[in-house]
Structure 1
């Protein structure tokens, strides 16, 4: 049931209760006034409506205050109960008094309807209002619990959303950190790779320079050794004694080639071989040809042989 329906029921209960109360009060005044007029001195009969009005006013007070307390969920104690039943009994007795004195049972029953209906209506209205109040309190408590549950769920969703956002932020931070670390690792590896390349290039350059230096030193040693050998051959050829007769052609040819290689003059080669100057000149020409080379051993042998022959 909605709140509008509850308020509509309360309005219906209030309207019905006050309608019955107003009718009962009016009926009580009309019924009790003749009784009071018959039992009041002639000079005071105009006060006959006062007593039913006072009793009915007490009834109105009881109904009104009970409704208010029931709406507030309170309880006035035993004295409101005593007042409610006392006014109800007074109203019944006053309304049925005249019929009772006349021994009119039907009149007693008829005149008891309105006050009894008022008493029962007041009790029922009080019970209804208390029941409605308890139901409203229970409903409000349920609504409070429902709102609290909704708020709790909303807070839980917000907490979960915050946790998810925090987790997403942490994941994003972790990915960013990993990305930076990965890029830093790539940069570090690139630097190391470049440094290794430069180191290898330096080492290769150093090896090439060492090889070139060794090759150059080897060539220099070979050239120096060759110059030394040529110088020794030249000195040997220059110091060897001249022959007195022509040496065999093979030996003479080797001697002439050695002399040409050592830069010995042709005249000296003629002296060492005993061959003619024309023949020696031809052999010198052969020795200077790019296609001709004389082994060091042959030259040395020629020189030694020449020296030996001289001896």
Structure 2
């Protein structure tokens, strides 16, 4: 008996069991459906096959799970047994109920064949599967023991072979060790001399690179210092220029307020002073007439000055025209 024979037996058992299960299910549906139709309202005749299908579905679940548990060597406890027998007895009762109501013993016997065969097949199949699982487990244990014995013998042979090879290798190594040690000493001394020379050259390069790096860093620091000083001077110059500009703007604003706060002129002011008043009035967006009153000059002259402030080029052209006249 080997694994192929066991798988063939399991396959035959599984195929036979499922053929019996599905045959019993089909027979049960065909037998129980007319009985349910007689005991169901006419409007619900279509529900007659539901009960046999539900019972048969429970049978399928029990058979499948028992198959899986048997393969794994497990046991589901008492509830699977209860469900298995309960579904079998329900199938038996439903299949024989119609004949029992008619007191037909032959019919009861005929309709009891499929349910009883299903019950016995489920129990027998479970027993067969458990027996096969135990046989497989025993076979695997024997094969494992034989395999371990063969592996142990192979390991012992390999260990002996490795021991002999190691002894031979150690003997050869002892013979060649002195020669290798001598050659290794020569090579090591040569390597130490070369390493010492390379180390001295590397240290010299590192010192030169360090000196170059320090000089470069010193130049960079000096350059950065000069840049910071230049930026500081430029910032201070900008600050002074801005301060002077603010002072000039404040002075211009004070002069403008002073010029505009004088009030109307009693007589025609000098031209330079009048021009300053007109410029202040233009900046303050005062009307031309009010600027004329402040300067004492005519509205036309003030309008011409306003035009010069609005369009400096036009004012120059007007001044040239007046000069040519």
1:81-136 CA-partner distances (Å, limit 9, x unpaired): 11000000000000011111111111111101001101111111111111111111
Q: 1:197-208 to 2 correspondence within 5 Å? A: none
The corresponding residue for 1:82 is 82
Match of 2:75, SS state, is coil
1:135-170 CA-partner distances (Å, limit 9, x unpaired): 111111221111111111111111222344456668
Q: Which structure's relative contact order is higher, taking Cα pairs within 8 Å and 6+ residues apart?
A: 1
User: Are 1:11 and 2:11 matched, yes or no?
Assistant: yes
Displacement of 1:2 in angstroms is: 2.0
Deviates more, 1:158-167 or 1:75-84: 158-167
Q: Give the distance between the partners of 2:171 and 2:64, measured in 1 at CA.
A: 68
The corresponding residue for 1:111 is 111
Q: Give the distance between the partners of 1:77 and 1:50, measured in 2 at CA.
A: 29
Q: Give the distance between the partners of 2:102 and 2:68, measured in 1 at CA.
A: 40
Q: 1:1-311 to 2 correspondence within 5 Å? A: 1-166=1-166
Point out where structure 2 has 5 or more consecutive residues left out of the alignment: 176-325
The corresponding residue for 1:300 is none
Number of equivalenced pairs = 176
Deviates more, 1:127-136 or 1:92-101: 127-136
Which is greater in Rg?
Answer: 1
TM-score by length of 2: 0.51
Deviates more, 1:139-148 or 1:163-172: 163-172
The corresponding residue for 2:201 is none
Displacement of 1:73 in angstroms is: 1.3
Displacement of 1:34 in angstroms is: 1.3
Match of 1:56, SS state, is helix
Q: Give the distance between the partners of 1:99 and 1:110, measured in 2 at CA.
A: 9
Point out where structure 1 has 5 or more consecutive residues left out of the alignment: 176-311
TM-score by length of 1: 0.53
Match of 1:103, SS state, is coil
Q: Give the distance between the partners of 1:57 and 1:3, measured in 2 at CA.
A: 32
Question: Cα RMSD between the aligned structures?
Answer: 2.2
Q: Give the distance between the partners of 2:42 and 2:165, measured in 1 at CA.
A: 95
